[in-house]
Amino acid sequence: MAILAMFSRAGSPCHNERIIHKVAKVPPNNYDSLLMSYNEHLKKHGADKIFLLALFALSLLIAYLIVRAKKVVVLGEPVEISEVGLSVRLPNGNGWQCDNQWELYEDTFLLSSVFSPSPGVNLADVLCTYRLASFRQSPRVWLEQYAAQFDASNPEYGTQQIEDKNLEWVYIKQARHLSGALAATMQLGHGRWLDIEITLAESEDDLALGIFEKIAKHIVIKDNELLEKGIEMVRQIKVEGLDKVLSERDEPDYYMVKDSGRHDVGFVVDILLEPVNMNEAEIQAAGFGYIRSPNKWEKATLFKSNPGLDEYVWESQTDQDRVVQITRGPLTIRGQGQNVRTSTRISVSNGTEISIHRLGPGSDELNQVESTELEARISEAAMPAAVIEALYVQMVNSNVDKIMVDVILSNGQVEPAVITLTRAPKDEPQVSHIVKIKYLGTNQEEETHFDSKMQTVKKILRQNGILVLEPTTLEDLARRFPERADYILQRSRAIKQGRL
């Protein structure tokens, strides 16, 4: 009975009967060996079943922990954009991974957080965007366009009050392959917008709404006094007239570009041109530059504007040698590749409506040409870098020591920058004022030293190294860069004729 009772633990009745039948035919002296063999059989198959049960239990536990972690959302520390007056807290920890730093792309700052319980598996994400330029007509129109991309039948709309501003949102419970999607947008003034987008790959309830409500409660918006001062400075230039502010600059400015070791590496030429048609009050500013090895770089720009700076066109053309890298096993060869040309045309009308057209090579093939168009609405603080020195003069004349503006760069990118004006130290008697401009989206800084007549003594550029621009003469440029003497003459002649 003891042996039969042990057999009953093996499994099904049919299985037990087969074993008993075999035991009956075995001589009595072989019972012990048979029992030992059968016990090993039980241990082997029993262990397999225990392992499968444990694996199943573990998968259930992991799934439970993932769902629980996704539901128990903990926000990280506030992440702010320096000098802007905006900070946001996104999910961080419990499987959520936040960048903890805003990144600038084109005219937009980005901040994101991803729920990734294991490498390469993203089950949810949150994206915040702070837009400097947008052609958005109204929050509701943008939200409807967002919902339309998911073919949502019954999207839910709502409004969250953030201080004195409205954060409008739309929630789609079932969005194609997603179990939830939410978008929110808020107009911050001066052409700026804050957007929040939440997408969930798996969710059993209104988790997207819960995450959004937590984020919304911790958005901090402060008044930006520096931006208001910048808007006032730009307004004064437009009222007074760009030609009046820049009236002292009537001769070309030639600069030698030196690296941190004081070696000559290139040159820059800035020119304020007389109007082509004397019957038209048109401001024309132009410039071109050249940087020697390791990769030859040339750039030319032509800026035309009315005195009020509310209608202007800015064209630029850049030529640069693209580096070619070839890897063969452990050997990597780098060499000078094909010359690449990119062109940008910026057109501004009605003061705040900007159109940007770019033409240049694709990212994959050197011979591929890509053309891109962008239209947006910029803020009243927007200032083209071509005539940025007009702001410096206006700050000195108005006795204002610190402002923020949106600098439009020659490639069409809009980047907020803080401009600080200080008096020169005593060890630089020839310098009267020092102006520093710090771009908030990059590590780039520029420092310009002026004399008492607001003529440039030197410029210092800092970004992954230091470049110093010092005034020089056309003859000195031709002597130090004989290989570019013809280029200087050709560019100067073309610019004076109003073309690149």
Q: What is the pLDDT of residues 300-315, one digit of tens each?
A: 999 999 989 999 999 9
- Joined together, the tokens standing for residue 40 give 């090993």
- Count of domains observed in the chain: 2
- Percent of the chain at pLDDT exceeding 90: 51
Query: Are residues 175 and 241 both part of a single domain?
Result: no
Q: What is the C-alpha to C-alpha distance for residues 166 and 159, in angstroms, rounded to an integer?
A: 6
Q: What is the C-alpha to C-alpha distance for residues 319 and 321, in angstroms, rounded to an integer?
A: 7
Each residue's pLDDT tens digit, 429-438: 899 999 999 9
Q: What is the C-alpha to C-alpha distance for residues 344 and 317, in angstroms, rounded to an integer?
A: 7
Residues 257 and 468: beta-carbon distance below 8 Å:
yes
Question: Mean of the per-residue pLDDT values for the chain?
Answer: 81
Q: What is the C-alpha to C-alpha distance for residues 245 and 204, in angstroms, rounded to an integer?
A: 63
Helices vs. strands in the chain: H and E counts, helices first: 10, 26
| Residue 235 confidence class, pLDDT cut points 50, 70, 90 | very high
User: H or E stretch including 24?
Assistant: helix 13-24
Each residue's pLDDT tens digit, 466-490: 999 999 999 999 999 998 988 888 8
Query: Are residues 117 and 184 both part of a single domain?
Result: yes
Query: Are residues 81 and 172 both part of a single domain?
Result: yes
User: H or E stretch including 300?
Assistant: strand 297-305
Considering the domain boundaries, does residue 27 fall inside one?
A: no
- Tell me which of 364 and 381 has the higher pLDDT: 381
Considering the domain boundaries, does residue 345 fall inside one?
A: no
Considering the domain boundaries, does residue 211 fall inside one?
A: yes
CATH, residue 145: 3.40.1000.10
- Joined together, the tokens standing for residue 34 give 């048979």
Question: Is the pLDDT reported for residue 320 higher than 60?
Answer: yes
Query: Are residues 213 and 115 both part of a single domain?
Result: yes
Query: Are residues 128 and 189 both part of a single domain?
Result: yes
At residue 177, the pLDDT reads 72
Q: Which of 190, 208, 223 is the last residue of a domain?
A: 223
Helices (H), 327-442: 389-398
Question: Is the pLDDT reported for residue 187 higher than 50?
Answer: yes
Considering the domain boundaries, does residue 174 fall inside one?
A: yes
- Label the pairing between strands 466-472 and 192-200: unpaired
Residue 261, domain extent: 227-300+380-496
- Tell me which of 49 and 127 has the higher pLDDT: 127
Query: Are residues 143 and 246 both part of a single domain?
Result: no
Considering the domain boundaries, does residue 392 fall inside one?
A: yes
Q: Which of 163, 198, 223 is the last residue of a domain?
A: 223
Query: Are residues 86 and 196 both part of a single domain?
Result: yes
Each residue's pLDDT tens digit, 59-106: 444 444 445 444 578 999 999 998 999 999 999 998 899 989 999 988
Residue whose entry in the numeric block shows the structure tokens 């130290």 = 425
At residue 203, the pLDDT reads 61
Residue 47 phi, psi dihedral angles, 5° rounding:
-65, -40
Residues 394 and 456: beta-carbon distance below 8 Å:
no
Query: Are residues 232 and 110 both part of a single domain?
Result: no
Query: Are residues 386 and 464 both part of a single domain?
Result: yes
DSSP 3-state of 346: strand
Mean pLDDT of all residues in 257-266: 94
At residue 338, the pLDDT reads 66
Considering the domain boundaries, does residue 431 fall inside one?
A: yes
Considering the domain boundaries, does residue 295 fall inside one?
A: yes
Considering the domain boundaries, does residue 49 fall inside one?
A: no
Predicted TM-score of the model (pTM): 0.79
Mean pLDDT of all residues in 191-209: 86
Q: Which of 185, 206, 223 is the last residue of a domain?
A: 223
Mean pLDDT of all residues in 264-268: 95
Query: Are residues 103 and 248 both part of a single domain?
Result: no
Query: Are residues 268 and 392 both part of a single domain?
Result: yes
